Amino acid sequence: METTRHYAYFPGCTLKNKALDLDLYARKSAEVLGFTLDEIPEWQCCGGEYPLAKNEIATKLSSVRALADAQKAGKDLVTLCSACYNVIKQVNNDMRTDENVILKVNNYLAKDDIQYHGETNVVHYLEVLRDVVGWDNVKAAVKNPLKGKKIGAYYGCLLLRPAGVLEFDDPENPQIIEDFIKAIGATPVIYAQRNECCGAYTALEDADIPAKRAKAILANAEEQGADFLVTSCPLCRYNLAKNKGGSKLDVIYFTELLAEALGIKDACQGVA
């Protein structure tokens, strides 16, 4: 692999409290695989949900500040949380294509000497593994292959949609997490609900909706023989764990499995 590559890193709020392990395993695994996550200083919450109102500008400013910081540093911006990835990449698309948003945002940020027009590339950690490190190099770095493990990838909706903006993977038949599972020596389990929404955002309106969706997802994966599920979304993990019903399936962050396969999981736990 090439000399260490540096990325600007936006961890997001959840990775600083409820999802500390998602963050820690990612950082340590990156070092083994030849890249570094340089956390953006004084980042602010992305809001967790992309604002659909056409004239909603204020809630996009924190994302633009992070994007501008990455641009200033000359780095691509990496995220881990599915919600952060979705919000920041959609805002970045606005700053490339929507003249109304571009004008108003830059007017707001002029006092901070920020002028931004979508120059930064936003990438998910999994895309770095696929497109920069390469699955063959991930596989070569594995010290503890997870042979015999049957793992279901759970994408949810935020990594995949809107497909035309995110361009993360095929929204109907994604493969990136399955390819990750293969690279760490395990067997991916394909099941119908892997790219369906868990319904977590509907909890405030009707708590029965996410409960029903979670049970359907877990039941489907279990029927297809999965030992557990893997995800990158803290909200999905929380919802699925909260609404397990009779399911025995655990939901694990993909970075934990990566650290385990690389043989550094125990060392990471010692740091946490």
Question: What are the strands of the beta sheet with 228-231, ordered from one edge?
Answer: 187-189, 150-153, 228-231, 251-253
Range among 20-34, 193-207, 258-272 rated most confident: 20-34
What sign has the CA pseudo-torsion 148, 18, 47, 25?
negative
> Three-state SS for 37?
strand
Residue 41, both tokens: 């200083």
Q: What are phi and psi of 30, to 5 degrees?
A: -60, -40
Q: Is 160 exposed, middle or buried (0-12, 13-18, 19+ CB in 10 A)?
A: buried
Give 78-118 pLDDT, tens digit per residue: 999 999 999 999 999 999 999 999 999 999 999 999 999 99
State the sign of the Cα–Cα–Cα–Cα dihedral 50, 51, 55, 61.
Answer: negative
User: Please, are residues 194 and 159 in contact by the beta-carbon 8 Å criterion?
Assistant: no
**Tokens at residue 259, please?**
């650290």
What value does the mean pLDDT take over residues 58-70?
A: 97
Q: 125 phi and psi, to 5 degrees?
A: -55, -40
Looking at residue 54, its pLDDT comes to 85
Give the separation between CA 272 and CA 266, rounded to whole angstroms.
Answer: 10
Average pLDDT taken over every residue of the chain = 95
What letter does residue 226 receive in the DSSP assignment?
-
Q: Which residue has the higher pLDDT, 19 or 4?
A: 19
Q: What is the pLDDT of residues 241-270, one digit of tens each?
A: 999 988 999 999 999 999 999 999 998 975
Q: Rounded to 5 degrees, what are φ and ψ at 155?
A: -85, -40
